[in-house]
Amino acid sequence: MGHFCVNCGRPLELREIEGRQVEACPFDDFVLWRDPKVVTIVVVESGDGVWLGRRGIDPGYGLWCLPGGFVNDDEHPADAARRECLEEIGAPIEISELLGVYHIQKAEAASMIGIAYRAHLKDAEQPQPGDEMLEVALFPRDALPDLAFSSHRDVVRDWLGQPRA
């Protein structure tokens, strides 16, 4: 705990609301709801492979991942996916379809809702590592490295089960 009311500044206390134990103000109606963060995950296809980035930041420093990241509050998730691909693999993409929606449970932070897209490079661009990546590389479907995040492994598993574009 250790959170305070945004209205009156008093310490929050545990209260049962709608069958859940949540932090709430004992003096007004403020409730600290633990809402998930929204993230995008993008499978950028090229031929019979997928573009991955090797992370240059924690968590997962040095490990491979799909491009993606947090959705800003004023941003459509598809726009966030395109922005994250520009930032992380340095290339514009065209989204071809929604691949899936994933619940990403976190013990140490708020859970996340992952919105995964299938995409391809726009205008035959050549990806380049952005500030958060050490390198980017195209991997064939049958020779993918271990990925940094279980959510990315789930997305790749589902992508591999889809008909090829």
Report the candidate in 77, 81, 80 with the shortest Cα–Cα distance to residue 66: 81
Look over the chain and give the mean of its residue pLDDT values, rounded to a whole number: 94
Q: What is the pLDDT of residues 105-118, one digit of tens each?
A: 987 778 999 999 99
Residue 135 has pLDDT above 80, yes or no: yes
Q: Which domain holds residue 5?
A: 1-33
pTM of the model: 0.87
Task: Report the CATH number at residue 151.
Answer: 3.90.79.10
Residue positions counted in the chain? 165
d(CA 22, CA 20): 6
pLDDT at 61: 97
Residue 163 has pLDDT above 80, yes or no: no
Domain assignment of residue 165, yes or no: no
Domain assignment of residue 114, yes or no: yes
Residue 77 has pLDDT above 80, yes or no: yes
- On whether both 62 and 23 belong to a single domain, the answer is no
pLDDT at 165: 64
Lay out the sheet containing 13-17: strands in order across.
Answer: 13-17, 20-24, 31-32
Number of domains within the chain: 2
CA 146 to chain CA mean position, Å: 17
The percent of residues in the chain predicted with pLDDT above 90, rounded, is: 88
Structure confidence at residue 93 as a pLDDT band (50, 70, 90): very high
d(CA 69, CA 87): 10
Structure confidence at residue 9 as a pLDDT band (50, 70, 90): very high
